Amino acid sequence: MSERLSTLIRVSEWPLRRQLAASIVVLLILAVVIIGSVSVSMQRQSLLDRLDDQLRVSLDISTNNLGEAQSQGVFGGPEQGPGPQGPPEEPEGFSPDDLGPGPQRGTVTLVILDEEAQVAQLVEEGSGAVVELSPEQISALDAAGGTAEDPVEVDLEEQGSYRVATEQVLTDGAEATVIVGESLAEVHQTVRDQVLIFSLVALATIALALVGALMLIRLGLRPLDRLASAATRVAQTPLSSGTVQLSERLPAADTRAHTETGQVGAAFNTMLDHVESSLHVRQEGEERLRRFVADASHELRTPLASVSGYAELASRVRQPLPETVERSLQRIGSESARMAVMVEDLLLLARLDSGAPLRRETVALAGVVVDACADAQVIGPDHRWVMELEEDAAEILVDGDGHRLHQVMTNLLTNARTHTSAGTTVTVRLGTSGDAHAVIQVEDDGPGIPEQLQERLFDRFVRGDGSRSRTAGSTGLGMSIVQAIVEAHSGRVDVDSVPGRTLFTVKIPLRNEPSPR
The percentage of the chain sitting over the pLDDT mark of 70, rounded to a whole number, equals 84
In angstroms, the Cα distances linking 191 to 45, 47, 55, 151, 303 are: 10, 9, 19, 19, 107
Question: The domain 239-356 is classified under which CATH number: 1.10.287.130, 3.40.50.720, 3.30.930.10, 3.40.50.11540?
Answer: 1.10.287.130
Q: Cα(486)–Cα(463) distance, rounded to whole angstroms?
A: 20
For residue 439, which amino acid is it? V
More confident residue, 319 or 454: 454
Partners of 190 in the β-ladder: none
Query: b vs e for 154-185, b when ≥16 Cβ sit within 10 Å of the residue's Cβ?
Result: bebeebbbbbbbbbebebeeeebbbbbbbbbb
- Equal CATH topology for 239-356 and 361-509: no
pTM: 0.50
More confident residue, 224 or 348: 224
| 115-119, 258-262, 509-513 — most confident range | 258-262
Q: Share the mean pLDDT of the chain.
A: 81
SS3 488: helix
What backbone phi and psi angles, to 5 degrees, belong to 290? -65, -45
Residue 479: alpha-carbon gap to chain centroid: 41
The full set of domain ranges for the chain reads: 1-74+95-220, 239-356, 361-509
List helix spans (H) across 221-259: 222-235
What mean pLDDT comes out for the span 68-82? 52
Non-local CB neighbours of 489 within 8 Å, separated by 6+ positions: 358, 398, 399, 400, 401, 404, 405, 508, 509
Lowest mean pLDDT among 32-36, 52-56, 58-62, 424-428: 58-62
SS3 236: coil
Whether 119 shows a pLDDT value over 50: the answer reads yes
Give tens-digit pLDDT for 79-111.
444 444 444 444 444 555 555 555 677 788 888
Lowest mean pLDDT among 113-117, 129-133, 156-160, 484-488: 113-117
Give tens-digit pLDDT for 255-300.
888 888 888 889 989 998 888 888 888 778 777 777 777 777 777 7
CATH of region 361-509? 3.30.565.10
Give tens-digit pLDDT for 467-489.
444 444 566 788 888 998 999 89
